[in-house]
Amino acid sequence: MSSVNSIAIDIRYPQFFRQSSIDSSVEIIEGKSAGSFIGFINLINYTNIIPNEWSLNMTETDFKIQSNGLSYSLITTKTLDRERKNFYEFLINAQHLIPPYEKVSKLVRIRILDINDCVPEFNQTVYQTTMVPNVTSFTVNAFDCDDSNTDNNRITYSLANYQDLFHINETTGMIECIKNTHTYERYEIIVVARDHGKPTLSSSTLVQIQLVSSAHKNNRAPVPSSWLHTEQSPQNMLILAGVLAALFVFMSLFICLICCIKYKIKRCKEKHILTPTTTMISTNFNNTHSILNEKPFSSTSSTTSSNDLQQHTANGEFTRIADDLHFERTAVREEKSFFLRLIDRQHIATIFLDSL
């Protein structure tokens, strides 16, 4: 049986993993997915590999030890992300499975190297400010979560438009108006932030600039910071869209309610106004029809035979018959005129109700 003092844990890493001479840490590029192989672990007595009579464990959860028979492998359990954790230091413990259960440990250091996987991000998606040409300036800021000691984190600013009117410091992000147009218009310029990693990553933001004169700048009230730095985030846009949709639904229901009320009022007025009018028209029409039936004025019936005319003339009744006929015709004309007036009133009432 081998003594614990002569046993060591030997870890052999692939050749493409660089090992630091300062702290003996192994350097691994970030992005290794779960299940990736990191290195071989062996228990050795001088130069001999000891049979699988030992149990190995470790204190780090981002890695695990996998048995391969006579040797072991160090495997990742999560994707290695430098922005989440850039350095690991843990112990690998080995315990002999045969009494007296000797133990041996090995300190492992792993440093995660950065790759350019972070896009530069601005503090806001939209900036708003006022600016006096050749006098005042405005600064935008972007940050990159990659390693600050590498080109992946170094950002350069540039303008995508209005380069003849505005200038931006490529290092600090300070914007100046270098040309006075004396028009004092509002401009929307696009600022691009680009890192120096490989491949290069970039993002952009919108800066709304209102040019003003120096006198106007001195006399006007200070611009509220809420106006200067308003971020139109997608969450705010969704909330605004929801409020507008709810307002539209409410107004639609309100208009429908008003229309229903007006329709019911119109129906009630029709019942109270048109019903008596219709009854009067029907009554007068029946009366008129009765008169017309009683006294038809056809060419045949209105013509008095010569015998009857002579008889009425002889009896002195011709004048009475003529008077009766004149009276009846006058009554018929009055009835017809009354009937037409009622029809006109009904038409006027209908027009009035339709206008409501």
* Residue 73 belongs to domain with CATH number: 2.60.40.60
Q: What is the pLDDT of residue 318?
A: 45
Helix then strand then coil, % of the chain, to nearest 5: 35, 30, 35
Query: What tens-digit pLDDT sequence spans the chain (356 residues)?
Result: 445 556 788 888 888 888 777 777 899 999 999 999 999 988 887 656 566 678 889 989 999 999 887 788 999 999 999 999 999 999 999 888 888 888 889 999 999 999 999 999 999 999 999 999 989 999 999 999 999 889 999 999 999 999 999 999 999 999 999 988 777 889 999 999 999 999 999 999 999 999 998 766 555 544 444 444 444 556 677 888 888 999 999 898 889 888 888 888 887 877 665 555 445 545 554 554 454 454 444 444 444 444 554 454 445 444 555 555 565 566 656 655 655 665 555 555 555 445 55
Q: Residue 304 gets which letter from DSSP?
A: P
| CA distance between the termini of the chain | 111
Q: Is residue 239 in a domain?
A: no
Which pLDDT score, from 0 to 100, does residue 84 have? 94
Does residue 104 belong to any structural domain of this protein? Answer: yes
Three-state secondary structure call for residue 106? strand
105, 141: one domain: no
Rounded CA gap, 2 and 14, in Å? 29
- Residue 91 sits in the same domain as residue 45: yes
Residues 97 and 144 in one domain: no
Q: Do 269 and 345 share a domain, yes or no?
A: yes
224-244 burial by CB neighbour count: b if 16+ within 10 A, else e?
Answer: eeeeeebeeeeeeeeeeeeee
The C-alpha atoms of residue 195 and residue 217 are separated, in whole angstroms, by 35
Same domain, 15 and 96: yes
Q: 8 lies in a domain?
A: yes
Please check whether residues 175 and 271 belong to one and the same domain. no
Same domain, yes or no, for 70 and 171? Answer: no
315 in any annotated domain? yes
Task: Say whether both 106 and 169 belong to one domain.
Answer: no
Output DSSP code: residue 5. Answer: G
Query: What is the domain range of residue 61?
Result: 4-113
Which of 232, 259, 294 is the last residue in one of the domains?
A: 232
Which of 83, 113, 143 is the C-terminal boundary of a domain? 113
Distance CA 11, CA 26 (A): 11
Task: Point out the domain boundary residue: 167, 199, 232.
Answer: 232
* pTM: predicted TM-score of the whole model, two decimal places: 0.54
Same domain, 171 and 266: no
Q: Is residue 245 part of a domain?
A: no
Total domain count for the chain? 3
Residue 160 falls inside a structural domain: yes
- Is residue 237 in some structural domain? no
Do 221 and 286 have their domain in common? no
> What pairing do the DSSP bridges indicate for beta strands 126-131 and 202-211?
parallel
Has residue 240 been placed in a domain? no
**Pair 157, 170: CB distance under 8 Å:** yes
Shared domain check, 182 and 257: no
Same domain, 180 and 217: yes
Angstrom distance (rounded) from CA 42 to CA 35: 19
Hey, how many other C-beta atoms are within 10 angstroms of the C-beta on 285?
Answer: 15
